[in-house]
Amino acid sequence: MNALIKSATIVDSKSDFHNETVDILIEKGRIAKISKRISNPNNYKEITLDNLHVSQGWFDSSVSFGEPGYEERETIANGLKTAAQSGFTAVALNANSNPAIDSYADITFVKSKAQDKATSLYPLGALTKASNGKDLAELYDMKNAGAIAFYDYQKPIGNPNLMKIALQYASNFGGLVCSFPQESKISGHGVANEHINSTQLGLKGNPALAEELQIARDLFLLEYTEGKLHIPTISTAKSVELIRAAKAKKLDVTCSVAIHNLMITDDALDGFDTRYKVLPPLRTQKDCDALIEGLKDGTIDMVTTDHNPIDIEDKKIEFDYAKYGTIGLESAFGALQTIFTTKKTVSVLNQGKSRFGIAEASINVGEVADLSLFDPNGEYQFSKADITSRSKNSAFLGMKLKGRTYGVIANNKIVLK
């Protein structure tokens, strides 16, 4: 793939051309030249877009596509196309398909479905067989097949001894164990944050305590085993404090936060709209503020869209019975820009790669072209017309977002909207 990007502002602190507006010549998938003006004698494809900015390709540590088994929600092919158009050059795929991705063959299958795509797919293998929380899955085999971590998506490991064994076993080959932060006996059948709003609306509460107890337990297990732990999608102020203290003790722990938990509170539940039924549940403004602060000071290591397409039959029903989840790839950049500067937004969208063993490529001559293309300016109201996912269950519909993505250049391919 050869291309010439014209008049692009580079947003990459590791680039020699950070904050400069330049032309970028790409030959055979690598950056061949960066300069104020580059001619095009070989008649390469020229990319000229309004207020074009480019950065290192973005990474999302938690996406769900459905395939195999739930293709009505999303296919891998369309999911990766959506990710590319949303500016993501790499995504970690959750194991919550049917059947769950819990073997060497399953990892090989999903990787084969993602071949020759601009956005790279990195599978997360299930931590336990069929994600049932009873017996460890074939972790080492999946690692050899290409799994980058092990996670029973949104299913907490209730047995502390099983989590202990998982951390110990995975440490033998540098495996990363992910643990969903919820104590099920405390959360019970709760569907919303246990607080004033859940009481007024008559919704069963899922207290912050359920998340914090599980995190405290897992951090004790981590300290005992000296393993390697990632805690996905934390949502409470106390969770931030717990992880901050663990990092001060030099424990090998990272965590993420879902973008919707950063900026939408449980006040949104007033209309019983199931687009806002997510797990962990939307919390309070105090929690949002603490999560944002945790992201700023490095306690929280990365953001995720926690993209989870759900078909209309499982969303357009009573709140208690609707499935958890919101899509988030298409709205990620514009949503983050409403609370952060462009520089910070790009930074947090790039974080997490090293934790999952994914290579980073700065925007310098000789590097592989792994680029996200976007315009950081302009406000708009996010609508269904902005969604390319098969499922339309977005918590951001109707919200004012800032800035739009154009697409990506990655894996020797160009994908633009």
Q: Which of 225, 258, 252, 257 is nearest to 240 (CA)?
A: 257
Q: Is residue 45 part of a domain?
A: no
Q: Given this model, what pLDDT does residue 371 score?
A: 98
311 closest CA partner among 394, 391, 384: 391
Tens-digit pLDDT profile for residues 146-176: 999 999 999 999 999 999 999 999 999 999 9
Rounded Cα distance, 334 and 202, in Å: 33
Q: Is 107 exposed, middle or buried (0-12, 13-18, 19+ CB in 10 A)?
A: buried
Q: What would the pLDDT profile of 204-250 be if each residue is shown by its tens digit? A: 999 999 999 999 999 999 999 999 999 999 999 999 999 999 999 99
Q: Is 334 helix (H, G, I), strand (E, B) or coil?
A: helix
Q: What is the CATH number of the domain that holds 269?
A: 3.20.20.140
pLDDT at 390 over 90: yes
Residue from 12, 102, 306, 386 carrying the catalytic annotation: 306
Instruction: With respect to residue 14, please indicate whether it lies within any of the assigned structural domains.
Output: no
Is 48 part of a structural domain of the chain?
no
Q: What is the pTM of this model?
A: 0.96
Percent of the chain with pLDDT over 70: 100
> Residue 255: what pLDDT?
98
Asked if residue 2 belongs to a domain, the reply is: no
Q: How confident is the model at residue 41 (pLDDT cuts 50, 70, 90)?
A: confident
**179 in a domain, yes or no?**
yes
Pairwise CA distance, residues 278 & 265, whole Å: 11
R_g over Cα of the chain: 21
Q: Is residue 212 in a domain?
A: yes
Domains in the chain: how many in total?
1
306 is catalytic: yes
Strand partners for 58 = 88
Q: Which residue has the tokens 């269950």?
A: 393
Q: Average the pLDDT over 105-134 and give the result.
A: 97
The reply to whether 52 falls in a domain is no
211 lies in which domain range? 58-356
User: Per-residue DSSP letters for 40-62?
Assistant: -TT-PEEE--TT-EEEEPEEEEE
